[in-house]
Amino acid sequence: MGADVDHVLAAIARAAARHDRPDLLERVELARARLADPACRVVVCGEFKKGKSSLVNALLGARVCATDADVATAIPTYVRHGERLEAHVLQEESPGSARGSAVPAPEVDTVATGHGGPAARALEIRLPRELLAGGLVLVDTPGISGGLASSHAGVALRALAVADVLVFVTDASAELGAAEIEFLAQAAALCPVVVGAVTRIDLYPQWRRILAADTEHLTAAGLDVDLLPLSAPLRHHGLRDRDRELLLESGYPQLTARLVAEHERVSGSGGAAAAAVGAGVVGQLVAEVTAQRRALDADAASQEQRQAWARAREQAADLRSAGSRWQQVLFDRMADVGAEVELDLTVRIRSLRREAAERVAQMPPARLAADLGPWLQQRTTELLLDHQSVVRAQADQVADAVAEQFGSAARDLRRGLDLGTDESGPVRDVAFAPAGAQSVSRLDMGLVALRGGSAGAMITHAAGLVLGLAFPVVLPAALVLSTVLAGKSWQSAQKAQLRALRADTDRAVAAYLEEVDIAARKDTRDAVRRLQRRLRETFSARAAELFTTANRSVESLSTSLTGDDEARAVRRAELDAELDALRSLQREVGAVLAARLPVAA
Amino acid sequence: MSSATSRAVRALLTDAVEAYRGLPEEAGLQDVLDRWDDPLRVAFAGRVKAGKSTLLNALVGERLAATDATECTRIVTSYVNGPATRAWAYPFGGEPVQVPFLRAGGQTRIELGAMEADGIAQLVVETPNRRLERLTLIDTPGIGSARREVSARTDAFLLDDGSGADAVLYLMRHLHTADVGFLQSMSDEHDAGVSPVNAVGVLSRADEIAGGREDSLEVAARIAQTYSADPRVRSLVQTVVSVSGLLALASTGLQERQHAAVVALADAPTSLLLSADRLLDALPDRGPSREVRAELLEVLGLFGVRLCVSLVRLGSAGDAATLAAALRRLSGLDDVRALLLERFVARAGVLKMRRAVRTVEAALAARPVPTAGALRRRVEEVLAAAHELVELRLLDDLRTGELELGDDAAALDAERLLGVDGDAPHERLGLDEAVPDEDVRAAAIEALRRWHRRAASPLATPDLRRTAELVARSCEGIVAGLPATTLP
């Protein structure tokens, strides 16, 4: 998986080094490094007590996650490959964050169920398993009860923001409920692939009918989710007795196969992206060597080519300069986006603030104490999700616009150049510059590459997982409000006391929303800034490469005319051989890429 | 329950109906009045698929409510005692229509004919059943359904409809935010108010709680205990018990041939019991036939079949009757029955009065009519004369945190003396039933002194003082109600 890509990329890297192009070499090496670490995050979500941790355990055939009947997972648990079994506390929720103290085996459950102290924000468990060896990471999340109103929904959504695959867990005891459907709809917008796991089919003779009812609910909600029936006890029995039939009945081999396939898809799309980089690099090398070879012929055609390359060099120099059109488009559009997304956030928070103030002023006191926390939590979660989708849509549009602008300039630049290639098939589009096209909101780079989506979206995704837009970490609303609401005798309070209590509550809500505002605004600004830097760097590097290629072509076309005939004959033979080698590389990478791209519709 | 108080509340209600004649509040008040002599109405609420219909069937001892693997109850259905088994559909804004009630293959079905389910407000099933004499049981579709109209029906019935319930059995599979939110909105919005006084939590489907593990029932009982101690839960329901509705229902009609099938299974290889699919299809030539296996699974569930097989293997279930008895004991059905009797039936009168007073109060708060001042004074008079109602209100306040004693032991003591565990003197005093009268008297007097001291303490907060005075009055009531003995 990816070995053929790496092989051809290595050859291209050698060619780039041979031709003294450190810029191109760096790009290929970067692509190779990304290819070598094909992480695929599988996040396991679901309402609590549906068997999420049991599913992770059964999948791995080991008891790594706490499964108790009445205590539940409270912090995310990352399970990844390691030489031996070990557990560590993580100081931040994200998987790559600093590792804290090691957790001895008997205490893993205590930490996972949230009793490991405030410093333990996540748990990382490593163990030697073939399934994990390829970079697959399983993430067990706290159960979300009551959908988006749950204070754990934030943890789950944060985990989802960086997920490649979501495994949504429900059980065969009952049909999917309203809260589950609501959560799935939100999750499907964040995560490209959703697999539904229906657990405990061993217990319920009617599981096939439940499965059918679930499918019906999903279809009605417009969700594209495959459902896999599973049974953890059958899996464990099957593993213990080495009973193949039981294992098949447990459904886990099917789930494993699905995850492996998804993992391959993720790394496969990574392979396509890497191959595209290789094709681009080799295209530039071919163009440069072709120019050198042309120079040796010293005929009218080469004279023409020299002029053409000189024009191309001017255009490339222009592309490279700060005043170029694409830079302007980038600058203008980013300024607009920055203002627009901030306004979006301001408007959303202000309207929620108003809504909350009305609620605080008008709701019956007893209801207020009970319902305000969950309500605020749910509305805040929805607000942030909506806001983030606006940011993503805007980012995609800017990236598309810039790519379009750069692409059309690059196409002008290529016109009239002999690039030494017949330019056909998918190779052409990626060979020199990305072709901007229709916008695609799905940010998964692999998917975009595979589905032939826009180049802009490929870049916004590569800019950091989903723009680095995670879910802001703020205290649960209920916790913030409890300081005001708890222990107050609302019903027995006098009118004046009630007014004071309402005012206190209103202030607490305002403070909470301010905290949400600050956290979300910082996230959004960072995302916009990262996007701008990423776009500038990406296209500047591409412009610099183009300039180098054009510059060296012009130079070789003007200088190779000197020297004696014999030396020129030797050189000609050398260049022909080199050109053959490069063309064969180009065909090779083209084939590798074509194999990974879907057949054009 | 003194009949004088009951008469006073009824008179108050009659006058309130008169005062609100022609106004929107009239219907609700009239309804409470109309049902004054009916049995207590207990609703089964909870999320969809919590096992409401199954538990209802187990409690009445026959399969009255239809049950199914997918969401099944779509319309609020009341089960009342009557001379024959009949069913009526109540269309919105129309006269009730009798509809066929059919039994087939252990299931029941109500034939709605040309009527649309959407047009029917509720169904009433009448059947001769001793267990429905003192209680009317009401099955609801449940909340949290992906079919929004199903959830909306339950909300409408329990939250808005005047023909609500006097008490609620709240079934939950695990405590879930949707559960808590629902109970809270009920206790806030509904006129009659669902509160710790008239709501009991039931951890249903106990057999499935630990994924069908062998110790599922014990684990469920432990979880129920934890919930009962959780202040969040205590502010919503009186207590939480665990029950396996399926096993309970199975125990009410277990037949000899089912027992024979279990015995046959006990001799077959254990691998048959690994999963429901295996139990149905594996080793077709060993043990009972597929039809019998399917029937067992439907009646008992996989956990139940495993449990029965273990009981047979242990030799503690020689025939169907012993097996049924063991199942009933393990299922927790007796606990739920006892709970219904102690907490609801024994206090039916006071629960109804409470609902009546609250309905009048709600009407007064919503729309002050010319006679409102007089009615309000009547409410005060009724409350002053009926310590039972004051006790309920005090219990409510203690549980929901309206009154804060700052002393958990004292709060528990107060709740027990106010009758949270039962109305009888020994229950209120936390004594064994067999304790002789003089010891009960001594304990009552000791409790009275204890609460007098608390009321008189200079350190007592206003909340504690108010509670202590009322609890002391309850203690006086206990002492006064004991058989007279000669003091030494």
The span from the CA of A376 to the CA of A371, in Å, is 8
Mean pLDDT rounded to a whole number for chain A: 77
Tokens of residue B399, six digits: 């549980």
Tokens of residue B4, six digits: 């004088």
Distance (Å) of CA B254 to CA A2, B244, B328: 62, 15, 11
Nearest CB neighbour to B71, from listed A175, A237, A487: A175
Higher per-residue pLDDT: B156 or B322: B322
The span from the CA of A139 to the CA of A120, in Å, is 16
Tell me the residue length of chain A: 601
Cα dihedral sign for B377, B379, B381, B384?
negative
For A485, the closest chain B residue by CA position comes to B401
Greatest mean pLDDT among A41-50, A444-453, B317-326: B317-326
Average pLDDT over residues A168-195: 85
Cα pseudo-dihedral B377, B383, B385, B389, rounded to 10: 170
| CATH number of domain containing B69 | 3.40.50.300
Strands, sheet with A99-102, edge to edge from the N-terminal-most edge strand? A99-102, A86-90, A122-127, A77-81, A136-140, A40-46, A165-171, A193-199, A226-229
What's the confidence (pLDDT) of residue A455?
A: 44
Higher per-residue pLDDT: B188 or A102: A102
What's the confidence (pLDDT) of residue A431?
A: 33
Confidence of residue B59 (pLDDT cuts 50, 70, 90): very high
pLDDT at A429 over 60: no
Which residues, in sequence order, are CB contacts of B53 under 8 Å at separation 6+?
B44, B65, B66, B67, B72, B73, B139
Confidence of residue A476 (pLDDT cuts 50, 70, 90): low
What's the confidence (pLDDT) of residue A365?
A: 65
Nearest CB neighbour to A364, from listed B151, B188, B275: B188
What's the confidence (pLDDT) of residue A452?
A: 29
Helices (H), B130-281: 148-155, 177-189, 216-229, 231-234, 245-252, 256-267, 276-281
CB spacing of B146 vs A217 below 8 angstroms: yes
How many C-beta atoms surround the C-beta of residue B315 within 10 A? 7
Instruction: Give yes or no for A240 touching B (CB within 8 A).
Output: no
pLDDT at B15 over 50: yes
pLDDT at B226 over 60: yes
Which residues, in sequence order, are CB contacts of B285 under 8 Å at separation 6+?
none
pLDDT in tens, B91-124: 887 888 899 998 887 788 888 877 877 788 889 9
pLDDT at B159 over 80: no
**B223, B286: one domain:** no
Residue B444 resides in a domain:
yes
Residue B312 resides in a domain:
yes
- Regarding pTM above 0.90, the answer is no
**B234, B255: one domain:** no
What's the confidence (pLDDT) of residue A190?
A: 72
Instruction: Give yes or no for A273 touching B (CB within 8 A).
Output: no
pLDDT in tens, B70-99: 776 788 899 999 999 999 998 887 888 899
The span from the CA of B47 to the CA of B73, in Å, is 12
Cα pseudo-dihedral A509, A515, A518, A519, rounded to 10: -130
pLDDT at B425 over 80: yes
Residue B376 resides in a domain:
no
How many C-beta atoms surround the C-beta of residue A259 within 10 A? 19
What's the confidence (pLDDT) of residue A493?
A: 55
Residues of chain A contacting B176 with CB distance shorter than 8 Å: 47-48, 145-146
**B262, B238: one domain:** no
Average pLDDT over residues B339-355: 84
Which residues, in sequence order, are CB contacts of B65 under 8 Å at separation 6+?
B52, B53, B54, B56, B57, B73, B77, B79, B108, B139
pLDDT in tens, A528-550: 887 788 788 878 888 888 888 88
The span from the CA of A218 to the CA of B413, in Å, is 51
Measured at the CA of A350, the angle between CA A349 and CA A355, to 5 degrees, comes to 95
Confidence of residue B309 (pLDDT cuts 50, 70, 90): very high
pLDDT at B326 over 90: yes
The share of chain B scoring above pLDDT 70, in percent, equals 90
The residue from B244, B268, B283 where one domain ends is: B244
Cβ B236 vs Cβ B184: under 8 Å:
yes
Greatest mean pLDDT among A518-522, B206-210, B322-326, B362-366: B322-326
- Bridging pattern class, strands B135-139 and B40-46: parallel
The span from the CA of A357 to the CA of A552, in Å, is 67
Confidence of residue B285 (pLDDT cuts 50, 70, 90): confident
Tokens of residue B45, six digits: 């609420």
Which residue in A150, A152, A122 sits closest to A137, CA to CA?
Answer: A122
Please return the burial class of A180, using the count of CB atoms within 10 Å of its CB with bins 0-12, 13-18 and 19+: buried
**B118, B182: one domain:** yes
What's the confidence (pLDDT) of residue B387?
A: 85
Nearest CB neighbour to A209, from listed B70, B178, B298: B70
pLDDT in tens, A295-326: 777 666 677 778 888 888 888 888 888 888 88
What's the confidence (pLDDT) of residue A258?
A: 93
The span from the CA of A341 to the CA of A348, in Å, is 10
pLDDT in tens, A584-594: 988 888 888 77
Residue B179 resides in a domain:
yes
**B176, B302: one domain:** no
pLDDT-wise least confident of A230-239, B187-196, B408-417: B187-196
Residue B386 resides in a domain:
no
**B229, B289: one domain:** no
What's the confidence (pLDDT) of residue B448?
A: 92
Mean pLDDT rounded to a whole number for chain B: 84
Distance from CA of B275 to the nearest CA of A (A): 4
Tokens of residue A25, six digits: 């070499």
At A144, the amino acid letter reads: I
As for how many domains chain B has, the answer is 3
**B132, B184: one domain:** yes
Instruction: Give yes or no for A229 touching B (CB within 8 A).
Output: no
Q: Which residue has the tokens 């004696």?
A: A564
Q: Which residue has the tokens 């049995």?
A: B39
pLDDT in tens, A107-120: 777 777 766 666 67
* Residue ranges per structural domain of chain A: 1-36+266-298+566-601, 38-250, 313-559
C-alpha count within 13 angstroms, C-beta hemisphere, residue A54? 26
Confidence of residue A256 (pLDDT cuts 50, 70, 90): very high
Which residues, in sequence order, are CB contacts of A193 under 8 Å at separation 6+?
A164, A165, A166, A262, A265
Tokens of residue A137, six digits: 């990471």
The residue from B331, B348, B378 where one domain ends is: B331
Q: Which residue has the tokens 């606006």?
A: A390
Nearest CB neighbour to A70, from listed B145, B219, B302: B219
Which residue in A79, A375, A169, A356 sits closest to B184, CA to CA?
Answer: A375
At A64, the amino acid letter reads: V
**B270, B238: one domain:** no
Residues of chain A contacting B183 with CB distance shorter than 8 Å: none
The span from the CA of B428 to the CA of B439, in Å, is 13
Distance (Å) of CA B412 to CA B430, B460, B474: 11, 17, 15
Q: Which residue has the tokens 């995704």?
A: A461
For A50, the closest chain B residue by CA position comes to B211
pLDDT in tens, A66-89: 776 556 667 788 898 888 888 888
Residues of chain A contacting B214 with CB distance shorter than 8 Å: none
The span from the CA of A116 to the CA of B224, in Å, is 25
Confidence of residue A349 (pLDDT cuts 50, 70, 90): very high
**B303, B215: one domain:** no
In DSSP terms, A83 is beta-bridged to none
CB spacing of B144 vs A70 below 8 angstroms: no
Q: Where are the beta strands (DSSP E) in B23-119?
A: 40-46, 77-81, 86-91, 97-99, 101-104, 107-110
Residues of chain A contacting B47 with CB distance shorter than 8 Å: 177
Higher per-residue pLDDT: B275 or A401: B275
CB spacing of B188 vs A179 below 8 angstroms: no
What's the confidence (pLDDT) of residue B283?
A: 86
**B223, B296: one domain:** no
pLDDT at B457 over 90: no
Cβ A111 vs Cβ A103: under 8 Å:
yes
What's the confidence (pLDDT) of residue B462?
A: 83
Start-to-end CA span in chain B (Å): 31
**B239, B258: one domain:** no
Q: What is the DSSP letter of B143?
A: B
Domain A38-250: CATH superfamily is P-loop containing nucleotide triphosphate hydrolases (3.40.50.300)
Count helices and strands in chain A by DSSP H and E runs: 20, 9
CB spacing of A70 vs B404 below 8 angstroms: no
Which residues, in sequence order, are CB contacts of A257 under 8 Å at separation 6+?
none
Cβ A279 vs Cβ A594: under 8 Å:
no
pLDDT at B213 over 90: no
Cβ B363 vs Cβ B28: under 8 Å:
yes
Nearest CB neighbour to B174, from listed A49, A209, A492: A49
Range of the domain at B456: 406-488
Alpha carbon A481 to its chain centroid, in Å, reads: 34
Confidence of residue A523 (pLDDT cuts 50, 70, 90): confident
The residue from B295, B314, B331 where one domain ends is: B331
What's the confidence (pLDDT) of residue A486?
A: 57
How many pairs of residues across A and B have Cβ atoms under 8 Å apart? 139
The span from the CA of A560 to the CA of B112, in Å, is 96
Residue B344 resides in a domain:
no
**B191, B263: one domain:** no
The span from the CA of A198 to the CA of A251, in Å, is 10
The span from the CA of B372 to the CA of B20, in Å, is 10
Reported ipTM: 0.75
Q: Which residue has the tokens 């936390």?
A: B430
The span from the CA of A487 to the CA of B66, in Å, is 44
